[in-house]
Copies of this chain bind each other. A is one copy, B any other.
Amino acid sequence: MSSEGKTWVRMVTAQTPTNIAVIKYWGKRDETLILPINDSISVTLDPNHLCTTTTVAVSPSFDSDRMWLNGKEISLSGGRFQSCLREIRSRACDFEDKEKGIKITKKDWEKLHLHIASFNNFPTAAGLASSAAGLACLVFSLAKLMNVKEDESQLSAIARQGSGSACRSLFGGFVKWIMGKDKDGSDSLAVQLADEKHWDDLVIIIAVVSSRQKETSSTSGMRESVETSLLLKYRAEEVVPKRIVKMEEAIKNRDFASFAQLTCADSNQFHATCLDTSPPIFYMNDTSHRIISLVEKWNRSEGTPQVAYTFDAGPNAVLIARDRKTATQLLQRLLFFFPPNSDTDLNSYVIGDKSILKDAGIESIKDMESLPPPLEMKDANKFSGGDVNYFICTKPGKGPVLLADQTQALLKLLIVTYILHKKFSFEMLTILFAQNLFFNLKQVVVYGKAQISCREITTSLV
């Protein structure tokens, strides 16, 4: 490993989307390799609104592998992280940057330590597939760092070992995770069915639903379902294979009616197998049920589906509207029935692509309060505020990207500052980087405790 002294740092930053399954993955045939009992299909969500950004850094000055998630150090000792690190390291290739005098051989990678900083631009524990985006981003950025030659599908088989659904986040648009047959899992990987431009009419609104109950983790939930649900085996073997064929066809033909019918039926069947588990698992709550009723009634009144719904291992609704006009009408319905708490402002109640809100003619809480009841549910009651925490407006989006060098310039400067002066904590810097990468400096949207204004920090740095 050539280097002048031990001060160099090689860094890569990548951004990876989340995804939402429309034909669900539930149940593993191999717990260690994370091999599923059926194929699944997902839609990748626009990384502008939901993504993970990860900076991976390698330096001879690092004396152990460390990782920070949303600015907080987390353990890398888990079997799943270790699987991903091991698999990527074993595929690492020679790397040389003559300008900086960095040369790393295939063998060096085994000894060099990593610092990894990951940031989600959305709440981590809210059931929004943060682990899918996170593990996909970890694998993708490490692969770039280590000059790994494998393509996205081959990388997806590694990401799969970190978190099953992560493998589907290696592509944009519409993605299929092929369950595979091999015992070693080498053929259990993701392929792209169509990119996000293939069907760009679709608009997605996510309702982040309040929950009083602690949820069963999907890992233990699916293990219990495999062990105890008599319906799950039948679903995986008899129902899903036929649905996969139909869903591929629906996506190919941009056939929204079939797409919506299959998406809703498969979400419901997944939750049915959770209920058939012993002890039963409830991910949806009364608010989820009400959102389903609202969509079902509207779809029926229109005679053909306007909106598809799907729910992962939590109460949040992911609603896919056939087009922008429908999405506008959907948002009006959602805001009519699920007003915010009195202390919530509109700006933080509807986030993501706010142009839908504008199209819906809603610019203030007052506009929202004067919304008329939808024709098909004239007599239905509004619900009290607070059942939904907020809505995210988004759309199908692109796959992982490596962030360009100019954005990294700041990162490098700051990392060097950190290493030499230890002036800022690494955690704080990584938050800054991550935010700086995808938020306009004028408009820093922050979540939870990690409230840091990029403007403030950059100012103090200058």
Contact = CB atoms under 8 A, between A and B. Distances in A.
Interface of A: 212-213, 228, 230-231, 234-235, 238-239, 261, 264-265, 268-269, 271-273, 275-280, 282, 285-286, 289-290, 292-293, 296, 300
A268 B274 CA distance: 9
A41 to B, nearest CB: 18
B269 A213 contact: no
A289 B230 contact: no
Contacts of A230: 235, 238-239, 269
- What secondary structure prevails in chain A residues at the interface with B? helix
A382 to B, nearest CB: 12
Contacts of A293: 213, 279
B272 A275 contact: yes
A268 B238 CA distance: 21
B275 A271 contact: yes
Nearest to A261: B278
Nearest to A290: B213
B286 A264 contact: no
Given A278-B265, A286-B285, A272 B213 contact: no
Contacts of A296: 279-280
A230 B228 CA distance: 19
Contacts of A261: 278
Contact of A234 (B231, B278, B290, B292): B231
Contacts of A271: 275
B264 A269 contact: no
Nearest to A297: B279
- List the number of copies, as a whole number: 2
Contacts of A272: 231, 272-273, 275-276
Contacts of A278: 261, 264-265, 268
Given A231-B239, A268-B278, A269-B276, 20 more contacts: A230-B235, A230-B238, A231-B231, A231-B234, A264-B278, A265-B276, A268-B275, A268-B276, A268-B277, A269-B275, A272-B272, A272-B276, A279-B292, A279-B296, A279-B300, A280-B292, A280-B296, A282-B289, A282-B292, A286-B286
Contacts of A276: 231, 265, 268-269, 272
Contacts of A290: 213
A367 to B, nearest CB: 27
A404 B284 CA distance: 51
A289 B231 contact: no
Contacts of A228: 265
A230 B246 CA distance: 15
Contact of A235 (B231, B268, B275, B289): B231
A395 to B, nearest CB: 26
Contacts of A277: 268
Nearest to A299: B279
Sorted from nearest, which 10 A-B pairs have the closest CB atoms? Answer: A272-B272, A272-B276, A279-B296, A272-B275, A268-B280, A282-B289, A234-B234, A286-B286, A231-B231, A269-B276
Contacts of A289: 213, 282, 285
Contacts of A292: 279-280, 282
A305 to B, nearest CB: 11
Contacts of A238: 230, 234
Contacts of A268: 275-278, 280
A238 B230 CA distance: 9
Q: Which interface residue of A234, A271, A290 has the most chain B CB atoms within 10 A?
A: A234
Contacts of A234: 231, 234, 238
A239 B213 CA distance: 30
Contacts of A231: 231, 234-235, 239, 269, 272, 276
A315 to B, nearest CB: 10
Nearest to A242: B230
25 contacts: A212-B286, A213-B286, A213-B289, A213-B290, A213-B293, A228-B265, A230-B235, A230-B238, A230-B269, A231-B234, A231-B269, A231-B272, A234-B234, A234-B238, A268-B275, A268-B277, A268-B278, A269-B275, A275-B275, A279-B292, A279-B296, A279-B300, A282-B289, A282-B292, A286-B286
Nearest to A285: B286
